[in-house]
Structure 1
Amino acid sequence: MPQDKRERRTDTWSKNHPLGPPWASLHADAMGVVLTFLPCLPDRARVRSVCHQWRAVARSRGRSVPPPLPLLVFPKLRFSSLTAGGLLTAMRQAWMPREVGPKDDIIPVGSSGDWIVCARLATGECFMLNAFSYAVLKVPHLGTSSDFSLRQVVFSSSPSSSSSSSSSSGPPPPNYTMAAYMICHGKTELSLWSPGMKTWRVYEHALFAGHVDIIFYQENLYMLWRFTPCLFALELGKDEEDGVIITSMKDCLVEKLLPNALVPTHETSCNMVEWKGRLLLIIRYHQAPHHCRNMLVKVEVFVMDLSVMPCGLTQIHSLENDCIFVGTGGCKSFSAGQHAGVEGDLIYFGPDHCNPHAAFAYSMRDHGTRAIVETKPLPCVNNASPKQVLGYPVWLFPSE
């Protein structure tokens, strides 16, 4: 039988080559060079799957090579990887542990390191999932109403790097804070939680309105209106009974400092990202009305100086060969210069409320745009009802 023949061939190889196949003895330094030329995560996974020796060597060299390019995590926990050419690979459904349960109603709402924050909107269940070790960490429910929509979750620090005794695959240490932006019964709410708290601390305020972007920066939480560049700084403190709380809020008056007035026929979409220790404001200008939002007019990027009031703004035209990834689950910067052949000075925009039907890259050099995914409609949109959004994808930045 074919199976018997395969077994005999394997036995013969083992007898004649007791040290294993010749490729198994690849030197660790050579493996490091190979991984450097493979920025795409699926390619690195294929290297690790060649044999046990390669897997061990690749893991030992993982920290000495640049991290792989980001992944885009879609609803139902489907993954797509960015390639060196700036395109997303075909979506794949990854294996998930039994604790995750059914994936059909799961949407990603945030990420930090190897961890994805996931939510079941029907039940309000919220949990953290390590995309590579498959560890699952439950956090308190955020809501139980059918009129409930969790939009974004951000971290004050990486859950995997806050303690020297922790690893990216182990449980996060208890010294970080999560902030969640959600809409419940038509009202925008901002909630805070950190390990040790039994429930989320929920805040409602007249300024928590509509779509917002949130980010932790220099020990404060900043909230930005998405359609108008209004920025608010929220100072945080701790209470013995309530845990982490908001102690004050102030308007940074950013909208008064924009060099150009808004054109009546343009609509804006605003985001924030930390880049090289500085906080950037990214403004997309779209052609109005609402149904023409996929017609991008221009993109402007500003460095915000938060040490003065009102906040200072300085427009920049280069990311110094870095890339920025913008999404509803938060924005991140990435050093593209670490990888040979990977283009820099790009801003990657994932599908969001402003344009759920497209994912594209914008060049800071020539101001051109190009699509990064060819699948239409995108999997964040219900095929049976294109106007119904299942949930937006989240960028994930693997550590190795």
Structure 2
Amino acid sequence: MPQDVAADDVLCAGSFQGSKCIVVASTFNGITQTLAFCQPGMKSWHVCDGLPIAGPKDFAFYQGKLYVLLRFLARLHAFELEEGDHGVVVSRVEHCVIEGLHDHHIQHIGKLSCNIVVWRDNLLLIVRRYDTTGNGFPRPNRELHQVQVFVLDFSTNPCGLTEIHNFDGDCVFVDSCGCNSFPASLYDGAEGDRFYFVDQYSKYDVNSFDPSYDTFVYTVRNGRTRPLATELSPDNFGAPNGNLDVPLLLLTSK
């Protein structure tokens, strides 16, 4: 994010006049990790440098806090935000220790990919675990081993986990830039109790651009997975020079 970009260039003053909406932006430059915040009316970003959150992240605003998840390490931090003289500022950052996450629930060898999403006044942790013990070349074989969905309980310290297998007919869309939960009835073709994954997990391979993607549907009630109807590939989507970068799920209600 360029340092000279003003908040008013990001938020339309007319649409958000009088709003308390907060925009969070994440940047990566070499080894420097930065989070920046703005609200309508702010003339500059509130920038936080030197944070212990290096790597791909997922974000969720929940009960007045911003939760930031390190996706491939399953480390969760809570940011407390307050109004300063020039707009929103970060007043406190807390590492949320999750009870038994690594010792019990995630006990098999393999790589993790995690997300967080707000669903019906709950903050959910979505965990995908992969078996990477194969000898694929140039990158190891990557086979989906398990998907789990947990409700996070912040009333205890460490916060607890409750696994769920019923989504009350709702669905969750997961892409490389975040998650959203919706009633399945809002979208033609969407099915309840399903997670729709369209996620990029690697981009570069031996100094060349070679993205790989997770594209599948997961059913919460029975733990089954199936492929998406459309294969996600650069050629299929007509991307320039055969390259397809970050995939997104674009949602329009009926």
Letter in 1 for 2:194: L
User: 1:183 matched to which residue of 2?
Assistant: 28
Which residue of 65, 74, 85 maps to 1:220? 65
Q: How many angstroms apart in 1 are the aligned matches of 2:188 and 2:27?
A: 40
Q: Offset of 1:207 from its aligned partner? A: 1.0
Q: Does 2:50 align with 1:193?
A: no
Q: How many angstroms apart in 1 are the aligned matches of 2:10 and 2:44?
A: 9
C-alpha distance after superposition, 1:341-394 (max 9, x if no partner): 74211111113235743422122234122123235336597645x5xxx64133
2:68/2:78 contact within 8 Å kept: yes
1:380/1:392 contact within 8 Å kept: no
Q: Does 2:249 align with 1:392?
A: no
Q: How many angstroms apart in 2 are the aligned matches of 1:225 and 1:339?
A: 30
Which residue of 204, 209, 212 maps to 2:54? 209
Identity percentage of aligned residues = 33
Which residue of 92, 97, 100 maps to 1:253? 97
* Larger gyration radius, structure 1 or structure 2: 1
Q: Offset of 1:292 from its aligned partner? A: 4.2
User: 2:216 matched to which residue of 1?
Assistant: 360
User: 2:181 matched to which residue of 1?
Assistant: 333
Q: How many angstroms apart in 1 are the aligned matches of 2:125 and 2:175?
A: 14
Structure 2 CA distance for partners of 1:171 and 1:337, relative to 1, 3 Å: closer
Q: How many angstroms apart in 1 are the aligned matches of 2:214 and 2:44?
A: 36
Structure 2 CA distance for partners of 1:257 and 1:353, relative to 1, 3 Å: closer
C-alpha distance after superposition, 1:224-249 (max 9, x if no partner): 111111111111111103x2111011
2:99/2:159 contact within 8 Å kept: no
Aligned residues: 238
**3-state secondary structure, aligned to 2:249:** strand
Q: Does 2:171 align with 1:323?
A: yes
Q: How many angstroms apart in 1 are the aligned matches of 2:219 and 2:27?
A: 32
Q: How many angstroms apart in 1 are the aligned matches of 2:141 and 2:252?
A: 31
Q: Does 2:9 align with 1:138?
A: yes
Letter in 2 for 1:316: I
Q: How many angstroms apart in 2 are the aligned matches of 1:204 and 1:248?
A: 14
Unaligned runs of 5+ in 2: 203-210
TM-score by length of 2: 0.80
Structure 1 vs Structure 2 CA RMSD: 3.2
RCO comparison, higher one (Cα < 8 Å, 6+):
1
1:356/1:381 contact within 8 Å kept: no
1:230/1:255 contact within 8 Å kept: no
Q: How many angstroms apart in 2 are the aligned matches of 1:396 and 1:287?
A: 30
Higher normalized strand content (fraction of residues) = 2
Structure 2 CA distance for partners of 1:126 and 1:219, relative to 1, 3 Å: same
Structure 2 CA distance for partners of 1:190 and 1:379, relative to 1, 3 Å: farther
Q: How many angstroms apart in 2 are the aligned matches of 1:358 and 1:188?
A: 25
Q: How many angstroms apart in 2 are the aligned matches of 1:296 and 1:327?
A: 17
User: 1:36 matched to which residue of 2?
Assistant: none
Deviates more, 1:253-262 or 1:316-325: 253-262
Q: Offset of 1:208 from its aligned partner? A: 1.8
Trace 1:63-212 onto structure 2 (pairs within 5 A): 138-139=9-10, 171-173=15-17, 174-212=19-57
Deviates more, 1:201-210 or 1:252-261: 252-261
1:360/1:373 contact within 8 Å kept: no
Structure 2 CA distance for partners of 1:338 and 1:395, relative to 1, 3 Å: closer
The structure 1 segments of at least 4 consecutive aligned residues displaced by more than 6 Å after TM superposition are 123-128
Q: How many angstroms apart in 2 are the aligned matches of 1:124 and 1:328?
A: 24
Q: Offset of 1:211 from its aligned partner? A: 1.3
**3-state secondary structure, aligned to 1:138:** helix
Q: Does 2:153 align with 1:305?
A: yes
C-alpha distance after superposition, 1:299-348 (max 9, x if no partner): 00000012322111101112122110112222111111467874211111
Q: How many angstroms apart in 1 are the aligned matches of 2:58 and 2:201?
A: 12
User: 2:131 matched to which residue of 1?
Assistant: 287
Q: Offset of 1:261 from its aligned partner? A: 3.8
2:34/2:51 contact within 8 Å kept: no
User: 1:96 matched to which residue of 2?
Assistant: none
Q: How many angstroms apart in 2 are the aligned matches of 1:127 and 1:349?
A: 33
1:356/1:392 contact within 8 Å kept: no
TM-score by length of 1: 0.53
Unaligned runs of 5+ in 1: 1-120, 129-136, 141-158, 160-165
